[in-house]
Structure 1
C-alpha cells in the first residue's frame, strides 16, 4: 500500500497600493490568520478578499490569483505550497513591506540611484554571460541589450537572472521574510503581473480615488512602470481613447488654475490600452 503525504499549503495575498514615489505592498499570510469561509462566499477568492478587507480596513477593487509557488524548508523535507493572490486597493494599509523599489531599486528608471545600480548590474551580467550563448540570449530581452527595447514587465526575469548570477540575494533587504526566503520572488512576480495588467486593463484605476486629475493618472502610470511619461502625448492618448470622463468638479486646495477631476468610463473596459503609451510617449531623458 502506498501512502501519500499531503503538502503543507498556505494562502498569501499581495496587497498593492500606490505610494507617493513607488508601489507599496503588504503581504497577508493566511496560514497565520485563517480566513472565515462563509456560505455567502461562492469562491475561495471571494473569501480571501473579504478576509483581507476586514484585516486591513482597505477596500479591494480588484483581485486575481497570482501564482502557485513551492518551496522546501529543509533538505529532504516535503515541499510547502504557497497559493498567492494579487489584490489592488486605493487605500494604504498600516502594516506593509514598504516600497517595492526598496526591494528592486533597479526597476525605477526615474531614479539616478536605480539607473546607476542597473548600469553596474548590466556590466557584471554581461561578463557573466560571456562565452555562454544561452545566457546571452536570456539577458538581452530581459535587460534591453543589443538594440532591444527595455520591457518594464520583465521584472521577474531580471530578478531571477540577477540572483542566478550571484548579483542579488534571494531574501529581501528587510526583516520581513518567510522561513523559505521566497518573498522577493513573490514580489517580483506581483510587480511583473501588475505592470502587464495596466497595459491592457483598467487595473490602474483600482489604485486611484474615484475622482482624479489627469496628472494623478499619469503619475500613477509612471509610479507603476518606473518610467516618466511625455505629458501632452499621454493626455492625448487617454482622451482619444475615451477612457475617462469629466465629473464636473475641480481639484481643491491647489496652487494656480484648478485641475478638472475625471473618472473612469466603465464603457471603456474592453478598450483600455494604456500600455501603448509606454514606448511611444515615454518622456525623453
Structure 2
C-alpha cells in the first residue's frame, strides 16, 4: 500500500472567477482547455496560503475570497494517478485577456437571462429520449424525474446551484464531448481536458450557493460601484434576471452598502450614485448575503 501511495501525485487546480461587463469569466490555460494548475505547495503554513501565493505568481492576480472545493481523483493520468485539489478564488479584472473565458462557452445552458430556448429546443428532447429508453418503467420514471429536477423541466423549479449535477447528467447521457459525443459546442459547450470542466462546474455551483447567504459577491466588483453594476454582477453569477426594485430593496434592507458621496458619469444617462460594501456587517451579523431568489424574475 505504501508503494502505491508514494506514486500518487497531487496538484492544485484553481477555479478563478471574475465578472466583466455582465459576463461571468473563468481564468484558463492551454487555449481554454484547462484551468490553472500546478504542483502542490508544501512550504506554506496552509494549503490556502499556498494557493494564494501560487495564483499570484502564476497569473499576477490577487485573490479576494478563497475556498477549497473538492479533491478529485484522476486515475487516467500517466504515469501515475493524481489527486486534483481544487479551489475557488474570486477576483476583479479591468481588461480581460484571452485567457479569461466565459463560463457560458462551457455551459451555455446555465444562462437563463434570455430564456430557456436552448434547453427546450435541444437538451430536453434528448433527455426525454434517454429517460424513456429503459424497458423497466420504474427506472424510466426515476430517470424522467431526475431530468426534470436537474434541468427545471415539467414544472420543476430551476435551481442555480445544480450546475455540477446538470453537467454530470449530460455526461451520463452522452451529450457532451468529454463523453465521446460529437456535438455542437453552442449547445453542449466547449470541452476541457481531464476533469477540468467538471471542476469548473463544481466551482460555479458552489459560488451560486454561497452568494445566497454570504456577501462574497462584493469580491467580484470594484471598491466602489453602482447598484446597477452590482445587480448585473449577481445576475451574471446566478444566471438569471432579478427584479430591479426588489433587488435594491434587499440590498438596502440588509444594510450591505453605503454611499461613497460620488457619482458615476459613464452610465449613459443621469449620473448614478456610487456605493461601497460595508465590511463591518460581517462583524455585526454572522450571515449577510444577497438572499438571491432561486426563480428567475423579470
Category of TM-score, reference length = shorter chain:
0.7 to 0.9
Q: Which runs of 5+ in 2 are unaligned?
A: 28-34
Distance (whole Å) between structure 1 residues aligned to residue 101 and residue 68 of structure 2: 22
| Residue 141 (structure 1) aligned with residue 149 (structure 2) | yes
Q: In the TM superposition, what are the counterparts of 1:15-164 in structure 2 within 5 Å?
A: 15-26=16-27, 27-31=35-39, 35=41, 37=43, 41-73=44-76, 79-91=81-93, 94=97, 96=99, 98-111=101-114, 115-119=116-120, 120-130=122-132, 131=137, 132-164=140-172
Which residue of the other structure, out of 247, 253, 278, is the alignment partner of 2:260? 247
Q: What is the SS of the residue equivalent to 2:69?
A: strand
Structure 1 residues not aligned, in runs of 5+: none
Partners of 2:277 and 2:230 lie apart in 1 by 10
2:293 to 263, 271, 277: 277
- Alignment TM-score, normalising by the size of structure 1: 0.86
TM-score by length of 2: 0.83
Displacement after TM superposition at 1:136 (Å): 2.3
Displacement of 1:141 after TM fit? 1.5
Alpha-carbon shift at residue 78 of structure 1 (Å): 5.0
C-alpha RMSD over aligned residues: 2.6
C-alpha separation in 2, matches of 1:62 and 1:163: 30
* Deviation of the 1:165 alpha carbon: 0.7
Select the structure with the greater relative contact order (CA < 8 A; seq sep ≥ 6).
Answer: 2
Distance 2:166 2:147 in 1: 8
Q: Secondary structure at the match of 2:67?
A: strand
Residues 4 and 254 of structure 1, relative CA distance in 2, 3 Å threshold? closer
Q: Could you tell me which of 212, 232, 235 is aligned with 1:219?
A: 232
Task: Name the count of aligned residue pairs.
Answer: 272
Tell me the residue number matched to 1:199: 212
Distance 1:248 1:43, change over 3 A: same
Task: State the shift of 1:69 in Å.
Answer: 0.4
Distance 1:257 1:56 in 2: 37
Secondary structure at the counterpart of residue 229 of structure 2: helix
